A and B are shown apart, each in its own frame.
Chain A
């Protein structure tokens, strides 16, 4: 079942990235929409974000959370039938969502574009997911709930809360509804949702992944238990407040903006503490670590995590935001996190998990290393081109000439960005090709599988027994 989620996540990553690459190409050659509404940038970008967030990221989180919760609670999953239901229902939801988005059903709010029937389906499946996950914890054989599960748990609970509140709407027809909130109030609710979707799905959930797979792969306990406790609660508390930093200089009340800015800066501490915890955990490994491409990816992902979690609060500062808001810099920031942190750590975990799940060694370590370099090159090209574009935009939009008038026309500036869009397309394509190589690698690994059941460990966490099928 974990393998099913993993395969689904890999497939969605390819679909989502293909949509992203095509959309990026459309910014260079707009005629690529071929006069076909579903392929036009607006709709395609929406399909891209939904496929990577709900298809790739959530499938990966569901899979790794089920894997981790079983391993750390020393018990088989609670209600395996329900767990499979979650798998199939979720894939159906994402497929239905993608189709509906292509057709133009759109609620109009970022990362919450799916219309009300699918929103209801999401709620139902999410509740079942929560029941399976927390049910497994409730029947655990180990007294303590391991830290990964706090993060996964927070991810499940907070996303539920965000989704339900933000998606409240009056339905009008099968695929059309109007938001319960309007104008500035809607903006505040939406970005409370939007930012915390990033915070608890893309950050919190993946930290759950990190806290299991990193110590496991390096065969070391977490460096500081106290730090993990402190940073978890500080993280959970402070992230929620950061939403309105997406709304600096907008029509929402200024005190909300300032509060968001301050909390975004405070957020630096717990998020970096978590990163340091992770780095120090793996760094204290004295024995020869296996020459493992998965570990390389996970460790590098922490560097990108640090970047994204530093850049974010920095961009939340009003002075920086003046330049960065509405520009490609935001996109660069998103992708340094999404590609550099989320994708890399997930890929690293897949390289670790899949061989164990199928009882086979990874088909080609060399291919995985090539993937590592393609991924790194892709992200760097993407991020640097977007930094260039974003700062160019931000500065030129606001530039005045000697007479104190606006110096550059909007379209002049747009024309200047073309080369950056092309570079970004190259970067994204490189990353995509790397992911394709990974898919081939994992597929070949899986095809050679023997039937193996990965039994939950019966020894304590202190001296982890190697999983069945470890080379």
Chain B
């Protein structure tokens, strides 16, 4: 078989083998990833979407730090029961300022994409301090340390916003300048709640 003779060449030559593997394994990635990088619908924000203001950005980074995505998804699927339970289906344009994306892959706890505005700040405060006080069957751990820590103890909010600005988030220099002031006197809990209250609020058209 001609193909097998060809293969005998490859398996006697390290370089050919390496090249072959790289070539064969690159195809799928190129086909799936490259077009998405140029598809404007995936990078065009929905109407009314703002980049995360400083307090919410800090909150988002806390969400990432505490690995909230491990139990909570942020992706409402276009299934009837899901839309009834959580709200409008999640659209790509709502996530353009999400670095990294936090869609999650598991729902130990409920989906959070449309949690913004559903519960009051006070409810969230109580829930984080003691989840079972508001949801008796909850298995979520308590996050008491969030209330005791100041937001942005590392003082890096301006650097973070500048990095995002570099990546294309439309922060103005004014926004960045005044960011530390916005965080003054706030705790990590305030930041996280601010983030959650922003989630899913800019609904896609018709949503």
Q: Taking beta carbons and an 8 Å cutoff, which residues of A are in contact with B?
A: 26-28, 30-31, 33, 35, 37, 40-43, 45-46, 104-110, 113, 134, 137-138, 143-145, 150, 153-154, 157-158, 161, 165, 170-173, 176-190, 192, 200, 226, 229, 233, 236-241, 243-244, 246-247, 249-253, 256, 259-260, 263, 322, 325-327, 330-331, 393, 397-400, 405-406, 410-412, 414-415, 418, 421
* Chain A residues closer than 8 Å to B137, beta-carbon distance: 411-412, 414-415
* Chain A residues closer than 8 Å to B91, beta-carbon distance: 251
* Chain B residues closer than 8 Å to A253, beta-carbon distance: 36, 39, 42
Q: Could you tell me the distance between the alpha carbons of A104 and B36 in the complex, rounded to whole angstroms?
A: 31
* Chain A residues closer than 8 Å to B27, beta-carbon distance: 237, 240
Residues A186 and B32 in contact in the complex (CB < 8 Å), given A154-B21, A405-B84, A414-B138: no
Q: Is the CB of A186 within 8 A of B142?
A: no
Q: Taking beta carbons and an 8 Å cutoff, which residues of B are in contact with A?
A: 4, 7-8, 11-12, 14, 17-18, 20-22, 24-29, 31-33, 36-37, 39, 42-43, 61, 64-71, 73, 75, 77-82, 84-85, 90-92, 94-111, 131, 135-145, 154, 156, 159-160, 163-164, 166-167
* Chain A residues closer than 8 Å to B84, beta-carbon distance: 405-406
Q: Is the CB of B78 within 8 A of A249?
A: yes
* Chain A residues closer than 8 Å to B159, beta-carbon distance: 172-173
* Chain B residues closer than 8 Å to A182, beta-carbon distance: 43, 95-101, 167
> Beyond A170-B163, A187-B103, A243-B32: 16 further Cβ-contacts under 8 Å?
A30-B142, A105-B65, A161-B26, A165-B29, A179-B100, A184-B101, A188-B32, A229-B4, A236-B24, A237-B27, A252-B92, A253-B39, A326-B105, A398-B82, A405-B84, A418-B139
Q: Is the CB of B102 within 8 A of A153?
A: no
Q: Is the CB of B28 within 8 A of A170?
A: no
Q: Could you tell me the distance between the alpha carbons of A247 and B160 in the complex, rounded to whole angstroms?
A: 28
Q: Could you tell me the distance between the alpha carbons of A2 and B163 in the complex, rounded to whole angstroms?
A: 43
Picked from A154, A185, A411, the residue with its CB within 8 Å of the CB of B36 is: A185
Q: List 27 A-B contacts (CB under 8 A).
A: A40-B143, A42-B68, A42-B70, A42-B71, A43-B67, A46-B70, A153-B18, A154-B25, A157-B18, A161-B22, A170-B163, A173-B156, A176-B156, A178-B163, A179-B99, A179-B101, A183-B95, A186-B99, A229-B7, A240-B27, A241-B28, A330-B105, A397-B82, A405-B84, A410-B85, A415-B137, A421-B139
Q: Is the CB of A410 within 8 A of B110?
A: yes
* Chain A residues closer than 8 Å to B78, beta-carbon distance: 249
Q: Is the CB of B64 within 8 A of A233?
A: no
Residues A237 and B25 in contact in the complex (CB < 8 Å), given A176-B160, A185-B42: yes
Q: Is the interface of A mostly helix, strand, loop or mixed?
A: helix
Chain B nearest CB: distance from A385 CB in Å?
A: 15
* Chain B residues closer than 8 Å to A165, beta-carbon distance: 29
